Each structure stands twice: as structure tokens, then as C-alpha cells.
Amino acid sequence: MVRKFFVGGNFKMNGDHASLMKIVENLNTSNFAEDVEVVIAPPAIYLDFVRKSVRKEIEVAAQNAYKVSKGAYTGEISPEMLKDLNIGWVILGHSERRTIFNESDELIASKISHALEVGIKVIACIGERLEEREAGVTNDVVTKQLVAISQKVKDWTNVVIAYEPVWAIGTGKVATPEQAQEVHNYIRNWLIKNVSEETSLNTRIIYGGSVTGGNSSGLAQKLDIDGFLVGGASLKPEFVTIINSRA
């Protein structure tokens, strides 16, 4: 089973019209490997601008969305609003949402479920903190996060799982290809046992955590690493190198 390589760029709370246009222009004029899916996630207020500016083969994602369609939820956006703007993807469960904004596994699972019901595809993020890895409970943490999602989601067709060890996000530290592959393989086997073999074979599991143009090629060669969710490097020209890291 050959899963299509997937590279997402999470711009986080960065950018303005001018800098985002430079990023878009670079992507619009760059050559990508044939078998790669590219999704970029600008800040929410620039979603429409980026969607209308970037070439159509590149999809656009929101960095967050809430678990209901509408209501008195100041500051939130709904998947229905994303759909109205022709936005096809959303990132949910990122460690920054979990740790800074205290989002629980259960809330994240509800948000994932609702987005999928509306027809928005999901990059679902999971991963352990440094103290959890050092305590040897990485698989336990990942399992807990996956169980919460599986209790709300039965069809994983439109889910990409992003394994992001929290200790490697924005720190310059990166899991070795072997460390990343070990957890990716664990996730794939978990899907076989707890969802289905078909889901395990088809679901893309991507890696995130200080991915750069320098380390992406080594990571991309691992059997169960199907791409990347890129943070800081997605704001730089080297993002194209990462996109083409399996070419």
C-alpha cells in the first residue's frame, strides 16, 4: 500500500498580507514531486486571502475550529464557516492547543468528530511531553489520545494523524528517524487492533517537531512516516525542500 505523501505547513500566529504573499508566491512558482499533497494553515483572518491567492493544487487548512455549528462562543470559528470559505482542512489537537489553552482529549475528539461530519478533513495531532518520554510512557500517552478520538470517530477516511512529540516542537530538537518510526509503527499497529486493518493501511501518519530541509529526507525514508506537519520551516523557502523530501 502506497500512501500519498502529505506535507502540511502550520504558520501558527505568524504573518501579514505582505509576508504571506511572499510565501504563496514561492509555493505558486515551485515545482513539487508528483505524488505529494500540500496543505498550508495560515492564521484564521488570512484564510480567505490565502485560499484565493495560492494555486489550486495546494489546499488550505484552519489551525482550529469549534465542536458546534454556531452560537454564543466568542472568538471561535466553526467547520461550517470554513466550508463556506472553501477551506477543506483543519488542524485539531495541536500540543499548543492542549497545553496553552488546556484543551482536553475529549474536547479535541468532539471537535474532530464535528469537523468530519461537516465534511472538513482533519489533521489530528497527538504526542507526548518530554517528561512522559523520559518516564517511558510515550505509548500510553499516544494510546489515551487515540482512544478519545476513536470513541467519537468511526470513519477515519478523512483523518491524517500527526505524531508530534511536544519536546521537539519549536525546540530545535527532533526525534531521530528511528524514534519517530517506532512511534509511527506503534500507532499503525494500534489502528489495526482497535479500528481496522484497512484503516491502518490507508491512514497517513505524519511527523511534526522541528522538521527542516536538513532532516526531512532521513525521516521521509521510514516505512511508516507518510509526511510532515511543519512549523517554523513552513514560513521559509526550505519548505519546498521538505515537500520534495521523498522525491
**Catalytic machinery residues:** 94, 164
User: Would you put residue 193 in left (φ > 0), alpha (ψ -120 to 50) or beta?
Assistant: alpha
Three-state DSSP class for 88? coil
Are 90 and 82 in contact by the 8 Å Cβ rule? The answer is yes
Beta bridge partners of 206: 162
Q: How far lies 33's CA from each of 6, 56, 106, 242, 245, in Å?
A: 11, 16, 37, 11, 9
Residue among 87, 85, 68 at smallest CA distance from 76: 68
List CB contacts of 78: < 8 A, sequence separation 6 or more: 65, 66, 68, 69, 70, 118
For residue 184, give the DSSP letter: H
Residue among 192, 180, 176 at smallest CA distance from 226: 180
